[in-house]
Amino acid sequence: MKVVCLQEKLKKAINTVERITGKNINLPILSNILIETDKGRLKISATDLEIGLDVWISAKVEIQGKITVPVSVLSNFIASLPQDKVILETEKTNLKVNCRSFEATIKGLSAEDYPIIPKIDASPLLSYKAKDFHKALSQVHPAASFSDTRPEISGVLFKFTANGDLRLVATDSFRLAEKVLKKAHPLDRDLSLIVPLKTVIEVSRILSDSEKEVKIAIKENQILFDLEDTRLISRLIEGHFPEYDRIIPQEFTTDVEIDKKSLIDAIKMASFFVTKVNDVSLTLVPGKGVDTNSKSQELGEHHSSIKSEVKGEEVKLVFNYRYLIDGLNNVSKSRVVLRANGKERPLAIKGLGDSSYLYIAMPVRDTE
């Protein structure tokens, strides 16, 4: 193999795929990336056997070929090179890298020993603007759980409906996030599947700076996210996602409309006076507003009051403050609606006038 490409494009491609690689005692080649020519372009690939990621970049292909090399060595060396043309050339199982006066020979392994990354030839189910899909994923995935004991909640539920909507849901049993993406054309059926959290995080990162569209295809127990020059394929999680609708209250006894930034600031100030428990209380007071309180024997105590429109019954709820801040930060509106249904019952958080995003926070038991 002999190819010529630009340093900045090669660096970006390597940075994208290297997060998939990792140390594996039983299969050390997984710490390598696969570099190969493909129809006049250079293809960079990585897999951890659960996720496969391919990135294509433009290149001048002089000799076809492929090789695998340790990503850590290659990544560091390429990142240190000037922004100029880079020549990659294989010599048996070695990769020679040249750029201006810099040269390196990196010992690799035969590409024939690299695990095969599956392909999905099914037609795309739906497509979305990358920036919209990135935002939707980032709104829900913080609520998912890295759980070995409950794999069904260690991912994000993708619930495709026949009318073309996609409902994204994540929960760790302490909070729940739901985002609805509208789509014009309908599907032929409802479909639910669980995408691993690691996959969702990687897809979100890849889409973060893209202006293109992402296409989604599904076949058997795998899902494909196709961004033209970047494709990620992942296994799905087997099992049944919890019937989350049951924990979403249908009726509320207290409604609050409040400025999001003011509430976040108050919760953050209250968090300065908590220790390991992270407990901050919210008291929703009709005709007055929202009081935030925290108390610690070691640090002292805090109280603040935010004027806001509160309707219904007065209620005091105690939360892990981090869960509240996560939910509020993911609301896109400047004003939020809080809806409560009594002491120690779930609190619903939504953006004012926005029905596409819902965050549910479970309070902790009030020991006072």
> What are the tokens at 268?
């953050």
> What average pLDDT does the segment 275-289 reach?
91
How do beta strands 315-320 and 279-285 pair? antiparallel
Residue type for position 119: K
Q: In the 8-state DSSP scheme, what is residue 9?
A: H
Residue 366 in any domain: the answer is no
Domain boundary among 245, 268, 283: 245
Spatial distance between the Cα atoms of 182 and 205, rounded to a whole number of angstroms: 22
Same-domain pairing of 80 and 191: no
Say if residue 368's pLDDT is above 70: no
Q: What is the predicted pLDDT for the residue at 148? A: 78
230, 206 Cβ separation under 8 angstroms: yes
Q: How open is the CA angle 325-298-305, to the nearest 5 degrees?
A: 45
Exposed, middle or buried: residue 12 (CB in 10 Å: 0-12, 13-18, 19+)? middle
Same-domain pairing of 255 and 159: no
Q: In the 8-state DSSP scheme, what is residue 237?
A: B
Q: How open is the CA angle 65-70-72, to the nearest 5 degrees?
A: 130
> What average pLDDT does the segment 49-76 reach?
97
Range of the domain at 96: 2-113
Q: Which residue has the higher pLDDT, 338 or 24?
A: 338
Exposed, middle or buried: residue 276 (CB in 10 Å: 0-12, 13-18, 19+)? exposed
Q: What is the predicted pLDDT for the residue at 140? A: 97
Spatial distance between the Cα atoms of 247 and 243, rounded to a whole number of angstroms: 8
Q: Which of 49-63, 241-255, 315-329 has the lowest mean pLDDT?
A: 241-255
Spatial distance between the Cα atoms of 94 and 13, rounded to a whole number of angstroms: 20
Closest to 192 measured CA to CA, from 134, 244, 250: 244
| pTM of this structure | 0.92
Same-domain pairing of 36 and 132: no
Q: Which residue has the tokens 């998912």?
A: 144
Spatial distance between the Cα atoms of 140 and 137, rounded to a whole number of angstroms: 5
Residue 88 in any domain: the answer is yes
Three-state DSSP state, 304 = strand
Same-domain pairing of 101 and 145: no
Say if residue 106's pLDDT is above 60: yes
Over the stretch 170-208, which tens digit does the pLDDT of each residue have? 999 999 999 999 875 667 778 899 999 999 999 999 999
Give exposure, 299-312, as e/b (b: 16+ Cβ within 10 Å).
eeebebebebebee
Residue 36 in any domain: the answer is yes
- pLDDT category at 164 given cuts 50, 70, 90 is confident
Exposed, middle or buried: residue 144 (CB in 10 Å: 0-12, 13-18, 19+)? buried
- CATH assignment of the domain containing 285: 3.70.10.10
Three-state DSSP state, 12 = helix
Q: In the 8-state DSSP scheme, what is residue 343?
A: T
> What average pLDDT does the segment 334-349 reach?
95
Residue 268 in any domain: the answer is yes
Same-domain pairing of 264 and 345: yes
> What are the tokens at 146?
């890295």
Domains: count for the chain: 3
- pLDDT category at 367 given cuts 50, 70, 90 is low
Residue 97 in any domain: the answer is yes
Over the stretch 64-90, which tens digit does the pLDDT of each residue have? 999 999 999 999 999 999 999 999 999
Same-domain pairing of 89 and 182: no
> What average pLDDT does the segment 227-253 reach?
91
Residue 368 in any domain: the answer is no
Say if residue 132's pLDDT is above 60: yes
Same-domain pairing of 72 and 9: yes
Residue 85 in any domain: the answer is yes
Say if residue 17's pLDDT is above 90: yes
* DSSP string for residues in 142-206: GG----SS-GGGSEEEEEE-TTS-EEEEEE-SSEEEEEEE--SSPPSS-EEEEEEHHHHHHHHHH
Exposed, middle or buried: residue 190 (CB in 10 Å: 0-12, 13-18, 19+)? exposed
Say if residue 162's pLDDT is above 90: no
Spatial distance between the Cα atoms of 43 and 1, rounded to a whole number of angstroms: 12
Same-domain pairing of 35 and 106: yes
Same-domain pairing of 191 and 262: no
Same-domain pairing of 235 and 178: yes
Residue 119 in any domain: the answer is no
317, 249 Cβ separation under 8 angstroms: no
Q: What is the predicted pLDDT for the residue at 184? A: 59
Say if residue 246's pLDDT is above 90: no
Exposed, middle or buried: residue 321 (CB in 10 Å: 0-12, 13-18, 19+)? buried
Domain boundary among 81, 113, 145: 113
Percent helix, percent strand, percent coil in the chain, to nearest 5: 25, 45, 35
- CATH assignment of the domain containing 132: 3.10.150.10
Average pLDDT, the chain: 93
Domain boundary among 245, 273, 295: 245
Same-domain pairing of 175 and 81: no
Same-domain pairing of 106 and 137: no
Looking at the DSSP bridge assignments, the partners of residue 282 are: 292, 317
